Amino acid sequence: MGKTAPPTTIPIEEFSGRFVGQSKRVRELLTLVARVAKSDSTVLITGESGTGKERIARILHEASPRAHAPFVPVNCGAIPEGLMESELFGHEKGAFTGAVTGRPGRFELANGGTIFFDEIGELPLPLQVKLLRVLQEKTYERVGGVRVQTANVRVLAATHRNLEEMSREGRFREDLFYRLSVIPVEIPPLRERREDIPLLMTFFQRRWEEEGRGDPVELGMDVQKALCDYPWPGNVRELENVMERLHVLYGGETVTVDLLPEKIRQHLSSIPEPLPSPMETSSDPLPPQSDSSPDAELPVLLDGASASLLPDPARLAGSIDAESDFSLTAFMGDIERTLVQKALERAGGNRSKAAELLGINRTTLIEKLKRFGIS
Protein backbone atom coordinates (compact mmCIF):
# COMPACT_ATOMS: atom_id res chain seq x y z
CA MET A 1 0.00 0.00 0.00
CA GLY A 2 1.58 3.27 -1.10
CA LYS A 3 1.99 5.86 1.60
CA THR A 4 1.54 9.53 0.78
CA ALA A 5 4.38 11.75 1.97
CA PRO A 6 3.47 13.74 5.08
CA PRO A 7 2.91 17.42 4.34
CA THR A 8 6.01 19.49 5.01
CA THR A 9 4.12 22.71 5.47
CA ILE A 10 5.04 24.88 8.46
CA PRO A 11 2.35 25.28 11.08
CA ILE A 12 0.82 28.73 11.39
CA GLU A 13 2.09 29.16 15.01
CA GLU A 14 5.63 29.09 13.69
CA PHE A 15 5.13 32.10 11.45
CA SER A 16 6.20 34.57 14.09
CA GLY A 17 9.47 32.66 14.57
CA ARG A 18 10.17 32.96 10.85
CA PHE A 19 9.13 36.56 10.43
CA VAL A 20 10.22 38.35 13.58
CA GLY A 21 7.86 41.03 14.84
CA GLN A 22 5.13 41.57 17.38
CA SER A 23 3.77 44.93 16.24
CA LYS A 24 0.11 45.20 15.29
CA ARG A 25 1.11 45.65 11.64
CA VAL A 26 3.19 42.45 11.64
CA ARG A 27 0.51 40.46 13.46
CA GLU A 28 -2.03 41.57 10.86
CA LEU A 29 0.41 40.72 8.09
CA LEU A 30 1.04 37.22 9.44
CA THR A 31 -2.67 36.56 9.90
CA LEU A 32 -3.20 37.46 6.26
CA VAL A 33 -0.23 35.34 5.19
CA ALA A 34 -1.56 32.34 7.12
CA ARG A 35 -4.88 32.59 5.30
CA VAL A 36 -3.40 33.22 1.88
CA ALA A 37 -0.78 30.46 2.13
CA LYS A 38 -3.40 27.75 1.89
CA SER A 39 -4.83 29.04 -1.37
CA ASP A 40 -3.30 28.80 -4.81
CA SER A 41 -3.97 32.44 -5.68
CA THR A 42 -1.45 34.84 -7.12
CA VAL A 43 -0.03 37.19 -4.50
CA LEU A 44 1.60 40.56 -5.03
CA ILE A 45 3.90 41.47 -2.14
CA THR A 46 4.76 45.15 -1.88
CA GLY A 47 7.08 47.02 0.43
CA GLU A 48 10.27 49.06 0.48
CA SER A 49 13.58 47.39 -0.19
CA GLY A 50 14.73 45.18 2.69
CA THR A 51 11.34 44.90 4.42
CA GLY A 52 11.25 41.10 3.99
CA LYS A 53 9.30 40.54 0.77
CA GLU A 54 11.28 37.47 -0.25
CA ARG A 55 11.06 36.11 3.29
CA ILE A 56 7.28 36.41 3.18
CA ALA A 57 7.22 34.73 -0.26
CA ARG A 58 9.18 31.76 1.13
CA ILE A 59 6.84 31.51 4.10
CA LEU A 60 3.86 31.54 1.73
CA HIS A 61 5.40 28.68 -0.18
CA GLU A 62 6.51 26.67 2.85
CA ALA A 63 3.08 26.96 4.46
CA SER A 64 1.29 26.00 1.27
CA PRO A 65 0.25 22.61 -0.07
CA ARG A 66 3.04 23.05 -2.63
CA ALA A 67 5.75 23.04 0.09
CA HIS A 68 7.07 19.62 -0.99
CA ALA A 69 7.95 20.99 -4.46
CA PRO A 70 10.55 23.64 -5.40
CA PHE A 71 10.42 27.36 -4.66
CA VAL A 72 12.06 29.04 -7.64
CA PRO A 73 12.95 32.74 -7.39
CA VAL A 74 13.42 34.89 -10.47
CA ASN A 75 15.07 38.27 -9.96
CA CYS A 76 13.59 40.24 -12.85
CA GLY A 77 16.09 43.07 -12.37
CA ALA A 78 19.13 40.80 -12.62
CA ILE A 79 18.45 38.85 -15.83
CA PRO A 80 19.36 40.58 -19.12
CA GLU A 81 16.31 41.25 -21.29
CA GLY A 82 17.61 39.12 -24.17
CA LEU A 83 17.95 36.04 -21.94
CA MET A 84 14.75 36.43 -20.00
CA GLU A 85 12.44 34.43 -22.24
CA SER A 86 14.70 31.39 -22.34
CA GLU A 87 15.36 31.73 -18.57
CA LEU A 88 11.65 31.61 -17.86
CA PHE A 89 10.40 29.13 -20.44
CA GLY A 90 13.55 27.21 -21.39
CA HIS A 91 14.70 26.53 -24.95
CA GLU A 92 15.05 23.68 -27.41
CA LYS A 93 18.35 22.59 -28.90
CA GLY A 94 19.31 24.91 -31.76
CA ALA A 95 16.74 27.55 -30.80
CA PHE A 96 19.44 30.22 -31.15
CA THR A 97 23.18 30.42 -31.73
CA GLY A 98 24.87 28.72 -28.81
CA ALA A 99 21.84 26.63 -27.81
CA VAL A 100 23.71 23.34 -28.25
CA THR A 101 21.38 21.49 -25.91
CA GLY A 102 17.81 22.00 -24.79
CA ARG A 103 17.33 23.50 -21.33
CA PRO A 104 14.35 23.75 -18.99
CA GLY A 105 13.23 27.19 -17.87
CA ARG A 106 12.25 28.33 -14.39
CA PHE A 107 8.58 27.48 -14.93
CA GLU A 108 9.56 23.90 -15.64
CA LEU A 109 11.95 23.79 -12.68
CA ALA A 110 9.20 25.06 -10.41
CA ASN A 111 6.77 22.38 -11.58
CA GLY A 112 4.37 21.54 -8.76
CA GLY A 113 5.80 24.34 -6.63
CA THR A 114 6.03 28.11 -6.55
CA ILE A 115 7.70 30.61 -8.84
CA PHE A 116 8.56 33.95 -7.23
CA PHE A 117 9.06 37.00 -9.45
CA ASP A 118 11.15 39.43 -7.42
CA GLU A 119 11.24 43.05 -8.66
CA ILE A 120 8.42 42.29 -11.09
CA GLY A 121 8.33 46.01 -12.03
CA GLU A 122 11.61 45.42 -13.91
CA LEU A 123 10.12 42.77 -16.19
CA PRO A 124 10.36 44.04 -19.80
CA LEU A 125 7.00 44.74 -21.50
CA PRO A 126 7.24 41.91 -24.09
CA LEU A 127 7.81 39.43 -21.26
CA GLN A 128 4.90 40.89 -19.35
CA VAL A 129 2.65 39.81 -22.24
CA LYS A 130 4.05 36.28 -22.12
CA LEU A 131 3.68 36.05 -18.35
CA LEU A 132 0.08 37.20 -18.61
CA ARG A 133 -0.60 34.40 -21.04
CA VAL A 134 0.86 31.81 -18.64
CA LEU A 135 -1.26 33.20 -15.82
CA GLN A 136 -4.40 33.08 -17.90
CA GLU A 137 -3.94 29.91 -19.88
CA LYS A 138 -1.49 28.02 -17.68
CA THR A 139 0.47 27.07 -20.79
CA TYR A 140 3.70 28.12 -22.53
CA GLU A 141 6.26 26.88 -25.05
CA ARG A 142 10.03 26.63 -24.77
CA VAL A 143 11.91 29.07 -27.04
CA GLY A 144 12.22 27.35 -30.42
CA GLY A 145 9.76 24.66 -29.38
CA VAL A 146 6.30 23.77 -30.60
CA ARG A 147 5.13 21.52 -27.79
CA VAL A 148 2.72 23.26 -25.46
CA GLN A 149 3.76 22.81 -21.81
CA THR A 150 1.45 23.07 -18.87
CA ALA A 151 2.47 25.37 -16.04
CA ASN A 152 1.61 23.73 -12.75
CA VAL A 153 2.96 26.50 -10.53
CA ARG A 154 1.75 29.07 -8.10
CA VAL A 155 2.90 32.58 -8.98
CA LEU A 156 4.07 35.05 -6.34
CA ALA A 157 5.50 38.46 -7.21
CA ALA A 158 7.10 41.30 -5.28
CA THR A 159 8.02 44.88 -5.95
CA HIS A 160 9.13 48.03 -4.16
CA ARG A 161 7.63 50.07 -6.99
CA ASN A 162 4.15 51.46 -7.39
CA LEU A 163 2.87 49.22 -10.19
CA GLU A 164 -0.43 51.07 -10.44
CA GLU A 165 1.42 54.30 -11.17
CA MET A 166 3.73 52.47 -13.58
CA SER A 167 0.71 51.10 -15.47
CA ARG A 168 -0.81 54.60 -15.67
CA GLU A 169 2.48 55.72 -17.24
CA GLY A 170 2.40 52.78 -19.67
CA ARG A 171 5.47 51.12 -18.14
CA PHE A 172 3.60 48.15 -16.72
CA ARG A 173 0.66 46.32 -18.26
CA GLU A 174 -2.50 47.11 -16.40
CA ASP A 175 -4.04 43.70 -17.13
CA LEU A 176 -0.97 41.98 -15.69
CA PHE A 177 -1.07 44.23 -12.63
CA TYR A 178 -4.66 43.21 -11.91
CA ARG A 179 -3.92 39.56 -12.62
CA LEU A 180 -0.94 39.58 -10.23
CA SER A 181 -2.55 41.47 -7.41
CA VAL A 182 -5.40 39.06 -6.78
CA ILE A 183 -4.20 39.16 -3.19
CA PRO A 184 -2.07 42.18 -2.30
CA VAL A 185 0.18 41.83 0.73
CA GLU A 186 1.88 44.99 1.94
CA ILE A 187 4.87 44.92 4.28
CA PRO A 188 5.23 48.15 6.26
CA PRO A 189 8.65 49.81 6.54
CA LEU A 190 10.53 49.25 9.79
CA ARG A 191 10.15 52.88 10.88
CA GLU A 192 6.37 52.33 11.02
CA ARG A 193 6.71 49.34 13.35
CA ARG A 194 9.45 50.40 15.72
CA GLU A 195 8.29 47.97 18.42
CA ASP A 196 9.80 45.24 16.24
CA ILE A 197 13.32 46.72 16.33
CA PRO A 198 14.32 45.35 19.79
CA LEU A 199 12.94 41.93 18.84
CA LEU A 200 14.93 41.92 15.63
CA MET A 201 18.08 43.01 17.48
CA THR A 202 17.68 40.09 19.90
CA PHE A 203 16.92 37.75 17.00
CA PHE A 204 20.17 38.69 15.22
CA GLN A 205 22.18 38.42 18.48
CA ARG A 206 20.80 34.91 19.14
CA ARG A 207 21.29 33.83 15.57
CA TRP A 208 24.94 34.88 15.71
CA GLU A 209 25.46 32.69 18.77
CA GLU A 210 23.36 29.78 17.52
CA GLU A 211 25.26 29.67 14.25
CA GLY A 212 28.41 29.25 16.33
CA ARG A 213 29.92 32.45 14.99
CA GLY A 214 31.01 33.62 18.44
CA ASP A 215 29.72 35.48 21.45
CA PRO A 216 26.96 37.98 20.77
CA VAL A 217 27.47 41.66 21.44
CA GLU A 218 25.85 43.37 24.38
CA LEU A 219 23.98 46.55 23.63
CA GLY A 220 23.79 49.23 26.31
CA MET A 221 20.54 51.09 26.88
CA ASP A 222 21.75 54.18 25.02
CA VAL A 223 22.77 52.03 22.04
CA GLN A 224 19.42 50.26 22.03
CA LYS A 225 17.68 53.61 22.14
CA ALA A 226 19.82 54.95 19.29
CA LEU A 227 18.99 51.88 17.17
CA CYS A 228 15.29 52.19 17.96
CA ASP A 229 15.26 55.90 17.06
CA TYR A 230 17.09 55.51 13.75
CA PRO A 231 14.71 55.57 10.73
CA TRP A 232 16.27 52.51 8.98
CA PRO A 233 15.83 53.56 5.32
CA GLY A 234 17.20 50.14 4.29
CA ASN A 235 14.73 48.44 6.65
CA VAL A 236 15.45 45.00 8.18
CA ARG A 237 18.31 44.33 5.75
CA GLU A 238 20.11 47.45 7.01
CA LEU A 239 19.51 46.47 10.64
CA GLU A 240 20.74 42.94 9.91
CA ASN A 241 23.92 44.35 8.33
CA VAL A 242 24.57 46.74 11.21
CA MET A 243 24.13 43.90 13.70
CA GLU A 244 26.52 41.71 11.71
CA ARG A 245 29.09 44.49 11.59
CA LEU A 246 28.84 45.02 15.37
CA HIS A 247 29.23 41.27 15.94
CA VAL A 248 32.25 40.96 13.65
CA LEU A 249 33.99 43.92 15.27
CA TYR A 250 32.89 43.70 18.89
CA GLY A 251 31.49 40.17 19.48
CA GLY A 252 31.42 39.41 23.22
CA GLU A 253 31.89 43.08 24.14
CA THR A 254 29.52 45.82 25.18
CA VAL A 255 28.87 48.21 22.33
CA THR A 256 28.80 51.90 23.18
CA VAL A 257 27.26 54.69 21.10
CA ASP A 258 30.64 55.83 19.75
CA LEU A 259 31.09 52.40 18.11
CA LEU A 260 27.88 52.67 16.10
CA PRO A 261 28.13 53.39 12.35
CA GLU A 262 28.58 57.05 11.43
CA LYS A 263 25.09 57.33 9.88
CA ILE A 264 23.40 56.27 13.10
CA ARG A 265 25.56 58.58 15.23
CA GLN A 266 24.82 61.46 12.88
CA HIS A 267 21.11 60.81 13.19
CA LEU A 268 21.45 60.66 16.95
CA SER A 269 23.14 64.03 17.09
CA SER A 270 20.35 65.57 15.04
CA ILE A 271 17.77 64.64 17.65
CA PRO A 272 17.26 67.61 19.94
CA GLU A 273 16.72 67.03 23.62
CA PRO A 274 13.13 67.81 24.61
CA LEU A 275 12.34 71.46 25.24
CA PRO A 276 10.60 72.40 28.49
CA SER A 277 6.92 73.21 28.39
CA PRO A 278 6.01 76.93 28.74
CA MET A 279 4.74 76.16 32.26
CA GLU A 280 8.18 75.06 33.30
CA THR A 281 9.93 78.04 31.80
CA SER A 282 7.66 81.04 32.14
CA SER A 283 8.59 82.30 35.57
CA ASP A 284 11.39 80.06 36.75
CA PRO A 285 14.84 81.50 37.07
CA LEU A 286 17.77 79.42 35.83
CA PRO A 287 17.39 75.78 36.86
CA PRO A 288 19.54 74.24 39.55
CA GLN A 289 23.00 73.29 38.26
CA SER A 290 22.92 69.80 39.66
CA ASP A 291 23.67 66.80 37.44
CA SER A 292 21.11 64.75 39.29
CA SER A 293 18.16 66.90 38.32
CA PRO A 294 16.52 65.76 35.09
CA ASP A 295 15.51 69.36 34.42
CA ALA A 296 19.17 70.32 34.37
CA GLU A 297 19.28 68.73 30.91
CA LEU A 298 16.64 71.07 29.52
CA PRO A 299 17.55 74.34 27.86
CA VAL A 300 15.70 77.21 29.50
CA LEU A 301 14.44 80.24 27.61
CA LEU A 302 16.47 83.25 28.58
CA ASP A 303 15.10 86.45 29.92
CA GLY A 304 16.23 90.06 30.30
CA ALA A 305 19.58 90.95 28.79
CA SER A 306 20.05 87.47 27.34
CA ALA A 307 16.76 87.30 25.46
CA SER A 308 18.34 88.30 22.14
CA LEU A 309 20.09 84.93 22.07
CA LEU A 310 16.82 83.33 21.16
CA PRO A 311 15.69 83.21 17.55
CA ASP A 312 12.49 85.11 16.95
CA PRO A 313 9.88 82.39 16.22
CA ALA A 314 7.99 84.63 13.79
CA ARG A 315 11.18 85.31 11.83
CA LEU A 316 12.03 81.63 11.80
CA ALA A 317 8.58 80.69 10.58
CA GLY A 318 8.87 83.35 7.88
CA SER A 319 12.02 81.69 6.55
CA ILE A 320 10.13 78.44 5.92
CA ASP A 321 8.61 78.05 2.51
CA ALA A 322 7.12 75.24 0.45
CA GLU A 323 10.61 74.11 -0.64
CA SER A 324 11.88 73.76 2.92
CA ASP A 325 12.75 70.51 4.61
CA PHE A 326 9.91 70.02 7.07
CA SER A 327 11.79 67.57 9.31
CA LEU A 328 11.08 68.82 12.82
CA THR A 329 14.01 66.85 14.21
CA ALA A 330 16.50 68.40 11.81
CA PHE A 331 15.02 71.86 12.33
CA MET A 332 15.14 71.65 16.13
CA GLY A 333 18.66 70.24 15.94
CA ASP A 334 19.75 73.28 13.89
CA ILE A 335 18.21 75.65 16.40
CA GLU A 336 19.89 73.90 19.31
CA ARG A 337 23.27 74.02 17.62
CA THR A 338 22.85 77.73 16.78
CA LEU A 339 21.88 78.56 20.35
CA VAL A 340 24.84 76.68 21.75
CA GLN A 341 27.19 78.46 19.36
CA LYS A 342 25.76 81.87 20.15
CA ALA A 343 25.91 81.25 23.88
CA LEU A 344 29.55 80.27 23.59
CA GLU A 345 30.31 83.41 21.56
CA ARG A 346 28.45 85.57 24.05
CA ALA A 347 30.40 83.97 26.90
CA GLY A 348 33.69 84.65 25.13
CA GLY A 349 34.41 80.91 24.92
CA ASN A 350 33.91 80.38 28.65
CA ARG A 351 32.00 77.10 28.90
CA SER A 352 30.71 77.54 32.44
CA LYS A 353 29.32 80.94 31.51
CA ALA A 354 27.82 79.62 28.25
CA ALA A 355 26.20 76.77 30.16
CA GLU A 356 24.75 79.27 32.58
CA LEU A 357 23.35 81.36 29.71
CA LEU A 358 21.76 78.25 28.22
CA GLY A 359 20.42 77.09 31.55
CA ILE A 360 22.12 73.72 31.39
CA ASN A 361 24.97 72.34 33.40
CA ARG A 362 28.54 72.40 32.17
CA THR A 363 28.76 68.64 31.57
CA THR A 364 25.66 68.74 29.39
CA LEU A 365 27.12 71.62 27.41
CA ILE A 366 30.37 69.74 26.87
CA GLU A 367 28.42 66.74 25.60
CA LYS A 368 26.51 68.96 23.20
CA LEU A 369 29.71 70.60 21.93
CA LYS A 370 31.11 67.14 21.22
CA ARG A 371 27.90 66.06 19.52
CA PHE A 372 27.79 69.14 17.32
CA GLY A 373 31.52 69.04 16.65
CA ILE A 374 32.00 72.56 18.05
CA SER A 375 35.51 73.03 19.38
* 106 interacts with ligand ATP by CB under 6 A: no
* 173 interacts with ligand ATP by CB under 6 A: no
* 47 interacts with ligand ATP by CB under 6 A: yes
d(CA 274, CA 297): 9
Q: Which amino acid is at 267?
A: H
d(CA 344, CA 208): 46
Residues in the chain, total: 375
Please report which residue ranges of 311-361 form alpha helices under DSSP H.
Answer: 313-318, 328-346, 351-358
Q: Which amino acid is at 175?
A: D
Burial profile 195-223: b = 16 or more Cβ within 10 angstroms, e = fewer? ebbeebbebbbebbeeeeeeebbebeeeb
* 236 interacts with ligand ATP by CB under 6 A: yes
Stretch that binds ligand ATP, among 13-21, 96-104, 209-217, 347-355 (CB under 6 A): 13-21
d(CA 45, CA 61): 13
Residues binding ligand ATP: what is the number (CB under 6 A)?
18
d(CA 363, CA 296): 10
* 107 interacts with ligand ATP by CB under 6 A: no
* Nearer to ligand ATP among residue 89 and residue 172 (C-beta): 172
* Nearer to ligand ATP among residue 89 and residue 203 (C-beta): 203
State which of residues 141, 240, 244, 367 lies at the interface with ligand ATP (CB under 6 A). Answer: 240
* Nearer to ligand ATP among residue 53 and residue 106 (C-beta): 53
* 118 interacts with ligand ATP by CB under 6 A: yes
State which of residues 15, 29, 30, 53 lies at the interface with ligand ATP (CB under 6 A). Answer: 53
Stretch that binds ligand ATP, among 51-59, 92-100, 166-174, 362-370 (CB under 6 A): 51-59
* Nearer to ligand ATP among residue 22 and residue 256 (C-beta): 22
Strand order in the sheet with 154-159: 71-75, 114-118, 154-159, 43-46, 183-186
Residue 155 DSSP code: E
The CA-CA-CA angle for residues 259, 264, 267, to 5°, reads 135
* 21 interacts with ligand ATP by CB under 6 A: yes
d(CA 344, CA 360): 13
Q: Which residues pair with 74 in a beta bridge?
A: 117
* 114 interacts with ligand ATP by CB under 6 A: no
* 188 interacts with ligand ATP by CB under 6 A: no
Residue nearest to ligand ATP as judged by C-beta position? 52
State which of residues 30, 33, 37, 52 lies at the interface with ligand ATP (CB under 6 A). Answer: 52
Stretch that binds ligand ATP, among 28-36, 162-170, 232-240, 270-278 (CB under 6 A): 232-240
The rounded Cα 188 to chain-centroid distance in angstroms is 8
Residues near ligand ATP (CB under 6 A): 19-21, 47, 49-55, 118, 158, 160, 203, 236-237, 240
